[in-house]
Amino acid sequence: MQVACPPGAGPARRWAAAGLVALLVLAAGVVALARTPHTAGTAAQGPPHTTVEVSQSHCGRGWDAPVPGVQVFDLHNTSDRAAEVYLEAPGSHAVYGEVEGIGPGTTRSLTVRLGRGAYAFRCVPEDADAVTGPTVRVGRGRGGPAAAPVTEHDLIPPAIDYQKWVAGGLADTVRLTGRLRDAVDRGDLAAARTAWLPAHLRYERLGAAYDAFGDADARINGTDAGLPGGVHDPAFTGFHRIEYGLWHGESAHALRTPAAALVKALTALRDDWSQARMDPAQLGLRAHEILENTVQFELTGRTDYGSGSNLATARANLDGTRAVLSRLRPLLAARYPGLRDLDREMDRAQSLLDGFRHGDRWTAPARLSRGLREKTDAVLGDLVERLASVATLCDPRRTA
């Protein structure tokens, strides 16, 4: 798996700025509206608009006439610092919608469906205490769902458990890559081609940890993208360098140094992993990014250096996504109404990808019929969208 975006810059993080709103509105069966700034009374059609102040002294001021149904709150930041705003249930702090990064003097829109119940805006300025505005009650109607906020403290146990799982995966990868190196050393390139895929797939299943691997990931699983010499550049190393040589007629002698370097890099990573620290706040985001990058790099064949195994990699990435979701499941069970549908779509994707395996060989993406290619793109693309909601719900929120 190739990391398409730097940490914090991926689409899932951008979802986190307004994504819970989209998730909750869509879950309620309401079409999400454009999130562009408005002021009260400017909308000729559509739901009513209400301008609400965002500040430490007057958080929530302006919402004086609550009505049920879909509506737009134009959140205007009158303070001198950026802020994020939650619309929540005052007692439980369950969140109905949120907007992050409202700059001083700017307005951002929040679209929600309101029903019978109590609501309050919580304003969370940068480098300052959170402030909760007045409670507003709506007397009738059915509102959209709310999700209890996830804190960084909530994410620490699943992150620790996942990190322990990664340690076992790294040990397996070192062992399997040792078999690859040994086959190259004895000049048995047929055995080396057989050994390459299991080792590579074992590493691919560790996708949510790649950010914590740092520069080691580029040495282990990088491509020739951006290298002046392309596949012949000395900086092109790791699994894909060996893949290129094995499927492009290079000699065992030429591959001994890359194979030894790969085992060395993986062994160092395995030995240093106990001192590494994954950021718990990134766990939900990584669950989304694994398959996001799968769609971008594997389904397009961009990382194929001769083995034609991209769909096998996609299948390993699916396993890696499941490994993250299994740790997040206790948090998602009470927060994500689409969890059962997500599980069903994960099973559907697994069945589809398994159909491309034929013994030890896999169909290359370029050999798929147009119909199968479109179906694969659709199934994995749907999962990416669903996992964006997981990233949003698991984005930690300040509660004080």
Average pLDDT, integer, range 71-85: 95
Rounded to two decimals, what is the model's pTM?
Answer: 0.80
Per-residue pLDDT of 242-253, as tens digits, reads 999 999 999 999
Average pLDDT, integer, range 142-160: 91
| Calpha distance 345→340 (Å, rounded) | 9
| Calpha distance 259→255 (Å, rounded) | 6
Q: Which of 147-151, 164-168, 226-230 comes out lowest in average pLDDT?
A: 147-151
- According to the model, what pLDDT value does residue 50 have? 95
- From the list 26, 16, 94, the residue with the least C-alpha distance to 391 is 16
Does 158 have pLDDT greater than 50?
yes
Average pLDDT, integer, range 180-205: 98
Average pLDDT, integer, range 61-68: 93
What single-letter DSSP state applies at residue 232? G
Residue at 238: amino acid letter: G
Residue 387 tokens read as: 């996992």
Residue 145 tokens read as: 């769902």
Q: Are 395 and 284 in contact (CB under 8 A)?
A: yes
| Calpha distance 180→174 (Å, rounded) | 10
| Calpha distance 159→288 (Å, rounded) | 15
Does 215 have pLDDT greater than 60?
yes
Nearest 5°: the CA angle 319, 323, 325 is 110
Average pLDDT, integer, range 225-240: 97
- According to the model, what pLDDT value does residue 400 have? 65
Does 135 have pLDDT greater than 50?
yes
- Strand 107-114: give its sheet, edge to edge: 49-54, 69-77, 107-114
What is the secondary structure of 101-126 as a DSSP string?
Answer: EE-TT-EEEEEEEE-SEEEEEEEEET
- According to the model, what pLDDT value does residue 211 have? 81
Number of neighbouring beta carbons within 10 Å of residue 248: 10
Does 238 have pLDDT greater than 90?
yes
Average pLDDT, integer, range 63-89: 94
Segments in the chain forming alpha helices (H):
11-27, 152-185, 189-204, 210-213, 216-221, 239-246, 252-272, 283-293, 310-332, 339-354, 370-393
Confidence of residue 145 (pLDDT cuts 50, 70, 90): confident
Confidence of residue 226 (pLDDT cuts 50, 70, 90): very high
Average pLDDT, integer, range 369-377: 97
Q: Sign of torsion, CA 67 68 70 73?
A: positive
Confidence of residue 150 (pLDDT cuts 50, 70, 90): very high
State the pairing for strand pair 117-125/83-88.
Answer: antiparallel
Q: Are 73 and 112 in contact (CB under 8 A)?
A: yes
Higher confidence at residue 201 or residue 210?
201
- From the list 393, 311, 378, the residue with the least C-alpha distance to 348 is 378
Average pLDDT, integer, range 322-334: 96
- From the list 20, 13, 15, the residue with the least C-alpha distance to 87 is 20
Per-residue pLDDT of 86-123, as tens digits, reads 999 998 889 999 999 999 999 999 999 999 999 999 99
